[in-house]
Amino acid sequence: MPAALSSAWFGAALVAVAIGQQLAGHLDCDVSWFITFAEKFVDGRIPYVEVSDPNPPAAFLVFVPAVLIARALQVATEAVVAAMVFVGAAASIAFAFYVLRHGAARSRRAWRLLLNAAIYLLLVAPEIVFAEREHLALLAVIPMLATLAVDERSRRLPRAARVVAGLGAGVAMAFKPYFALAVAMPALATAWRERSLRGLWRAEMWTAAFVAFAYMAAIFAFFPAYWEQALPLIVDVYARAHDDWGNIASHTLAPFYAALFAGFLAAARGLVLGRATRVALFASLGFFVSFLVQGKGWINHAYPAVAFILFAWTFLALGDRAARTARSTGAKERLIKFLFVPALVAAPAFFGIFEQVSDREEHPGLLDAVARVAPPHPRIAAMASGLDFGHPLVRQLGGEWVGRQNALWVTALVGRLLPSAASPAYRERLEAYRRDDLEAFAQDVRALPPDVVIVEDAATREFVLKRAETAGVLESYRLAKRAGEIEIWRREADRGGWNLP
């Protein structure tokens, strides 16, 4: 292995590349929307009533500090978010290394290689997934997984460090409860391996559980509308509208992960894995199960699983195993050379390096088209199925988002679910959700008329305008421009009616 890979200069270069990538591109639509959500919350809007989303409060609360700091410094919130992620990543890596030093002994070169691998996988590889909930959860949970990788019989890790690690794991679970699997699976695997349940009762496990339950109680106390408004939508609509399993198996990162996992098992055959390797492997499996349970197939959902299977490979390549063999097997060396190394190098491509460094738009040409017809700092709404039509575009134009939801995603998903809804009661609930979604859109547009309405395509417009809830919602607008099939409608205050050029 080239000595340069373990140098401090190489690590510094990786940090510079990570910063350069974020300067070249932009935070993606999810992050942009949750920043907007956080701003509206800070401005006094009631979450899940006046501004809403299917995700629990941690999704927007995590950006509230960035909003407050950005306003105090009068800088872009996106810049503060990126800076905070870099600082958080540095803290997470440093703390994890502090914990790991209480475990298995490693050479100075191995520590440096591991550090550079962590910088690469946590800051360079995420690309357009940077600052997504999955990225933040991964950074938060790493110290906890580091504690699981340390044998309690070795140099004793201070209880305070375990509590801090547990706090991070609790924060990760606050983003999505599925992420508990990434802690539970390696903890259970270790308990099974050691034939002891003692490891399940450690301070960090209790702390993580306490944070998770305290978070649930806080939602009941401070965000009751989440349970009343958002949760039914999650259960009846969002969670059920999963992608086709055939598509997930063939057109997502699932086969890439499966190849890495199967290759790892082949490479590790006959070896007694070290704790760090085993924890990384089972954490990746937990995150992969989370990816499958969510059923959407998106790259941000896949990122933690891919990152941790590559961490497992890294530990294996660095010789992290409990029992030494006389020599490395040829199969292991070949798999490291021809599977792990190419996958590690290609990781940024799987998470959008080309889109990030070229600052590619979510919908090429849409930003310029809207900018040409909209006034400065426009109010913008979107008649579209996905949030990427309006976000991050509205922030890039310095505008104001009109609408309590980020898009007509409820209407779109209900349309997908209705054909297979067998129960009359369920069909009735779905129709009610769609009716409420369209009524809310019409109310928002009429209460604060946007300067521009972005329409996904003609078919979407025709469907929405035929509905009683939204009939006439574009009466004061005219079709001003198109970007491919996307229509940009501009408000004409002095005109009655709307026309189609």
Lowest mean pLDDT among 57-71, 95-109, 112-126, 405-419: 95-109
Burial string for 243-267 (b: 16+ CB within 10 Å, else e) reads eeeeebeeebbbebbeebbebbeeb
| Residue 496 predicted with pLDDT over 50 | no
Q: Please compute the mean of the pLDDT values over residues 288-311 and round it to a whole number.
A: 98
Q: What is the chain's mean pLDDT, rounded?
A: 94
Tens digits of residue pLDDT in 91-103: 999 999 999 998 8
Q: Please compute the mean of the pLDDT values over residues 401-418 and round it to a whole number.
A: 98
| Residue 22 predicted with pLDDT over 50 | yes
Q: Going by C-beta distance under 8 Å and a sequence separation of 6 or more, which residues neighbour residue 128?
A: 25, 28, 299, 351, 352, 355, 356
Give the pLDDT of residue 328: 59
Give the pLDDT of residue 329: 66
| Residue 324 predicted with pLDDT over 80 | no
How many CB atoms neighbour CB 480 within 10 A? Answer: 18
Q: Please compute the mean of the pLDDT values over residues 34-53 and round it to a whole number.
A: 98
| Residue 437 predicted with pLDDT over 70 | yes
Tens digits of residue pLDDT in 170-191: 999 999 999 999 999 999 999 9
Give the pLDDT of residue 153: 65
Task: Work out the pLDDT band at 326, boundaries 50, 70, 90.
Answer: very low
d(Cα 489, Cα 486) in Å, to the nearest integer? 10
Give the pLDDT of residue 468: 98
Preceding peptide of 348 cis, ω within 30°: no
* pTM recorded for the entire structure: 0.95
Task: Work out the pLDDT band at 501, boundaries 50, 70, 90.
Answer: very low
Q: Please compute the mean of the pLDDT values over residues 437-455 and round it to a whole number.
A: 98
Give the pLDDT of residue 497: 43
Task: Work out the pLDDT band at 283, boundaries 50, 70, 90.
Answer: very high
Task: Work out the pLDDT band at 327, boundaries 50, 70, 90.
Answer: low
CA angle 12, 17, 18 (to 5 degrees): 95
Give the pLDDT of residue 320: 73
Direct distance between the N- and C-terminal alpha carbons of the chain, in angstroms, rounded to an integer: 64
Task: Work out the pLDDT band at 81, boundaries 50, 70, 90.
Answer: very high
Q: Please compute the mean of the pLDDT values over residues 325-348 and round it to a whole number.
A: 86
d(Cα 157, Cα 164) in Å, to the nearest integer? 12
Q: Going by C-beta distance under 8 Å and a sequence separation of 6 or more, which residues neighbour residue 37?
A: 47, 51, 53, 59, 60, 63
Q: Is the Cβ–Cβ distance between 264 and 316 less than 8 Å?
A: yes
Give the pLDDT of residue 321: 66
Q: Going by C-beta distance under 8 Å and a sequence separation of 6 or more, which residues neighbour residue 411?
A: 385, 434, 437, 438, 464
